[in-house]
Amino acid sequence: MSEERGSQSVRAVRGSAIRDLLAVTERPDVLSLAGGLPAPELLPTARVARATQAALASPAALQYGVTTGAPSLREIVHTRESAKLGRDAGTVIITHGSQQALSLLAQALLDPGDTVIVEDPGYIGALQAFDTTRARVVGVPLDSGGMRIDELRPLLQREQVRIVHTVSNFHNPGGATMTVERRRELAELADEFGFWIIEDDPYGELRFAGPTVPPVAAFSDRVIRLSSASKIVAPGLRVGWMHGDPAVLALVERLKQGADLCGSSLTQAVAAELLADSAWIDDHIQTIRAVYGERALALHTALTDAFGDRLHLTAPEGGMFLWGEFADGTVTSARLRDAVAAGVAYVPGSAFAVHRDLGHALRLCFTTSGPDELREAVRRLATVL
């Protein structure tokens, strides 16, 4: 008990550290790589405006909706998810961003004494959602091939593991994508030990290099997949979803009634129209990939030029973040104040640590700055790191 409380207060501090950083990003003189927002110039305001007008032709867009979400949106999400899995399986619930999906799954699946496995470094939203339960949160190291399944295996013998949470593609903050072999192994372990995998996949469609990998859910029915319209359309719609086992989703539906009754009929109607307009959404995602790919490359190249072998970087194949680890013991949190004074911001690795010492690491977001700004940001970084 005291252990969990301890980790909660550590995380509360982390949370405010990041909030303070985000406050810094408002200053026009700071080039911030500390955020985690989609590029604002790619947010499709005109297309959303058109879809909103169409939706508002009916008062249904302003009325209460059903708890599971607008049927048209559930259908298009189900079609898209089935295509990814290569089979028709599971059901869909629309959630208030995929953060709500995480929070409801934590409530639905975890009892006191259960263990939930997260990656280390971990996605902060998942840590926050699991922290509000009385379950034990245990981290398994992440490397460039994703979660270390060899380190997960012995934990399954020792602990009552109920959930394994993974950001399988372009990890936040780790940048890594889980290899196909590990996906298959993880899925087999879920079938063997009876835990649920939460495959948290907000970035999977933002691949700008390398071959697509099948989702973990392609290998087992014990996977609940989470994603959202936030990174491919817009976060401001707050449209996320979960896809998977109907019995688990029925539990979630009951909890969602108590949590918020239903989502916004208006933003769900907009999301349904945009996702169903396959010419538009395919083209739009292609644009995001091209822009993010160019930015990731610019940042990666500039960092390699500036730091050489001192800084180990994830290879940028998609998503929104690069993860770097200094090989020479540079402590990133100790340098943050100087960095901000030099006009650049990042998130120190320690903010994402579950058990590991990640004091020499940092997360850099490449989505909200152009190539020239990213190069200038690295120039400033090099003066303090």
Please name the residues in contact with 292: beta carbons below 8 A apart, sequence gap of 6 or more. 39, 206, 208, 318, 319, 320, 366, 367
- Does the protein bind its own copies through residue 228 (CB under 8 A)? no
Residues written for the chain: 385
Binding test (CB under 8 A) with its own copies, winner from 31, 198, 232, 262: 262
Query: Which residue stretch of 37-45, 85-93, 282-290, 357-365 sits at the interface with its own copies (rule: CB under 8 A)?
Result: 37-45
Lookup result for tokens 């169903």: 276
Rounded Cα distance between 325 and 318, Å, is 19
Across the chain, where does the E strand assignment appear?
31-32, 91-95, 115-120, 136-143, 146-147, 161-166, 196-200, 223-228, 240-244, 311-313, 321-326, 344-345, 347-348, 361-365
Binding test (CB under 8 A) with its own copies, winner from 173, 202, 263, 348: 263
- Does the protein bind its own copies through residue 56 (CB under 8 A)? yes
Residues 292-351 that bind its own copies (CB under 8 A): none
- Does the protein bind its own copies through residue 367 (CB under 8 A)? no
Side-chain half-sphere exposure of 227, counting CA atoms within 13 A: 25
Least Å distance, CB 290 to its own copies, is: 19
Rounded Cα distance between 101 and 20, Å, is 26
Least Å distance, CB 117 to its own copies, is: 18
Query: Which residue stretch of 34-42, 80-88, 188-196, 304-312 sits at the interface with its own copies (rule: CB under 8 A)?
Result: 34-42
Residues 93-132 that bind its own copies (CB under 8 A): 96-97, 99-100, 103, 107, 125, 128-129, 131-132
Side-chain half-sphere exposure of 161, counting CA atoms within 13 A: 27
Least Å distance, CB 11 to its own copies, is: 10
Least Å distance, CB 130 to its own copies, is: 8
Burial of 297 (0-12, 13-18, 19+ CB in 10 A): middle
Is the Cβ of residue 59 or residue 211 nearer to its own copies in the bound state?
Answer: 59
Q: Which residues bind its own copies (CB under 8 A)?
A: 12, 15, 37-38, 40-41, 43-46, 48-49, 52-53, 56-65, 96-97, 99-100, 103, 107, 125, 128-129, 131-132, 230, 234-238, 254-255, 257-267
